[in-house]
Amino acid sequence: MAAIEAAAPHTEVQLFEKSNKLLSKVRISGGGRCNVLHHCPHSSELLKAYPRGGRSLKKAFGKFAYAEAREWFESRGLELKVESDGRVFPSSDDSASVIKILEREAHHRKVQIHLGMELRSIYPQDGAYRIEFRDGANLIFDKLILAFGGQPKLRGLQALSSLDIDFELPVPSLFTFNVKNPELHALKGLSVPNAEVQIPGTKARQSGPLLITHWGFSGPAVLKLSAWEARSLAALNYQFPILINWTGCSENEIRTTLQETFARHPQRSLGNAKCFNLATRLWQFLLQNAGIAIDKPCAELSKKSFNRLVEQLFRAPYAVEGKSTFKDEFVTAGGVKRSNLHLDRYEFKKYPGLYAIGEMIDVDAITGGYNFQHAWTSGFLAGQHARS
Ligand SMILES: Cc1cc2nc3c(=O)[nH]c(=O)nc-3n(C[C@H](O)[C@H](O)[C@H](O)COP(=O)(O)OP(=O)(O)OC[C@H]3O[C@@H](n4cnc5c(N)ncnc54)[C@H](O)[C@@H]3O)c2cc1C
């Protein structure tokens, strides 16, 4: 995106990629379908999806956000569709369609592409930038746009070490929670549409679909929590307690629903008296955790057991012991500090003509197409500014 936007009739643009393929991440993204954007016509709403970035992206999204990015792709022939949860994919359900558009446009704009060229160092030199490659080659450019992607370790940004730049320590974001509990693992594949996951003693809580896996918990509620708490959970070495509300209801609503259901079916066994549309296996698992026999009739439930069941439904405690990578999408929080940059054009404040875009800067989002949105936005703005 940046190379395409930087290209103009009398401007030579060269793109250096260390691997032997362009756009590898686009290819594997969204399970091979590429969740290219998130339907979000109001940029004030868009800002809310970026745990690192947020309001500091206001100017950038004021210039190039969802509508502009969508128009950019569609006007070049990419057909897009919006799914019910707002995620935008190519109508072909194939990331290759996105790659094709970008490669065709780069070709059309005469961007010179060099594969297998790893940039190792950058040196400011007489108002320009000398770059040194892994093979020892040196080149000088008037302007330089850096797009290294997310680097799990700061040494991935070593090429910038000769520059006076501040970094935020990288930590992973968008991960799932490991919970050692064989009975829970036996429920793998079950999900609830609207759970709330919270970290007790903090304000950290997220709601949404929750999925039980063979290692613990996944699904949007967990991924959102992992994104918003990426730093605090790294500091806890991914060992922390969580409380789960399986119902999406308040404690009072839970009590009322249970009382009404049990009063309507006094002779029914508790194991068959499930509420809140929970799967029977999950309901019975929660009864078991509350120490309640599933064959006991509803009418015989003691007050103490009733309260324990409410606890299981409203704030069931689990111990998270480690994290796993989410299979479809993961990103790095941290990298080049946003304060280094003019965020309306992604140019370094101390180095005119030098830009950093995409995931290598301390901007990342929850899942849903927002990470690519920022990649397109920052690439577009840096490219356009570099061309001017
Ligand atoms: C499996 C997976 C699926 C994802 N799916 C989605 C999705 O569906 N929707 C979404 O919004 N986000 C998704 N993401 C996140 C998204 O892919 C990234 O946020 C986005 O690709 C960042 O773009 P970027 O250009 O900053 O970095 P990248 O796409 O990572 O590109 C950086 C490029 O720079 C090259 N490079 C690095 N260092 C050097 C160097 N020193 N010299 C030369 N070249 C170098 C790399 O080889 C790479 O090609 C996914 C991430 C993963 C891992």
CA–centroid distance, 353 to ligand 1, in Å, is: 23
What is the pLDDT at residue 330?
A: 86
Atom of ligand 1 nearest to the CA of 30: 8
Q: How far apart are CA 290 and CA 287, in angstroms?
A: 5
CA–centroid distance, 28 to ligand 1, in Å, is: 10
Using a 6 Å cutoff on CB, does residue 28 contact ligand 1?
A: yes
Q: 107: which residues sit within 8 A by CB, 6+ positions away?
A: none
Which residue lies with its CA nearest to atom 22 of ligand 1? Answer: 359
**Contact at 8 Å (CB) between 52 and 231?**
no
Beta bridge partners of 37: 88
Using a 6 Å cutoff on CB, does residue 148 contact ligand 1?
A: yes
DSSP 8-state code for residue 187: T
- Cα-Cα end-to-end distance for the chain: 16
Q: How far apart are CA 27 and CA 98, in angstroms?
A: 8
Atom of ligand 1 nearest to the CA of 38: 11
CA–centroid distance, 32 to ligand 1, in Å, is: 14
Answer positive or negative: Cα dihedral of 6, 48, 29, 92.
negative
Which residue lies with its CA nearest to atom 37 of ligand 1? Answer: 148
CA–centroid distance, 172 to ligand 1, in Å, is: 14
Q: Which CATH code is given to the segment(s) 2-171+328-387?
A: 3.50.50.60
Q: How far apart are CA 247 and CA 311, in angstroms?
A: 11
What is the pLDDT at residue 125?
A: 95
Answer positive or negative: Cα dihedral of 377, 52, 157, 33.
negative
Atom of ligand 1 nearest to the CA of 22: 49
Q: How far apart are CA 240 and CA 224, in angstroms?
A: 16
What is the pLDDT at residue 376?
A: 98
Angle at which helices 370-387 and 66-74 pack, to 10 degrees?
80
At CA 385, angle to CA 120 and CA 54, rounded to 5? 85
Q: How far apart are CA 13 and CA 193, in angstroms?
A: 48
Atom of ligand 1 nearest to the CA of 35: 8
Using a 6 Å cutoff on CB, does residue 364 contact ligand 1?
A: no
Q: How far apart are CA 102 and CA 109, in angstroms?
A: 11
Using a 6 Å cutoff on CB, does residue 115 contact ligand 1?
A: no
Residue type, 382: A
Using a 6 Å cutoff on CB, does residue 328 contact ligand 1?
A: yes
Using a 6 Å cutoff on CB, does residue 27 contact ligand 1?
A: no
CA–centroid distance, 149 to ligand 1, in Å, is: 5
Residues of the chain falling short of pLDDT 50: none
Using a 6 Å cutoff on CB, does residue 132 contact ligand 1?
A: no
What is the pLDDT at residue 327?
A: 61
The token pair at 82 is: 């919006």
Q: 167: which residues sit within 8 A by CB, 6+ positions away?
A: 154, 157, 334, 335, 336, 337
What count of other Cβ atoms lies within 10 Å of the Cβ of residue 30?
Answer: 22
Return the domain boundaries, the chain.
2-171+328-387, 175-325
Exposed (0-12), middle (13-18) or buried (19+): which is 75, by Cβ within 10 Å?
Answer: exposed
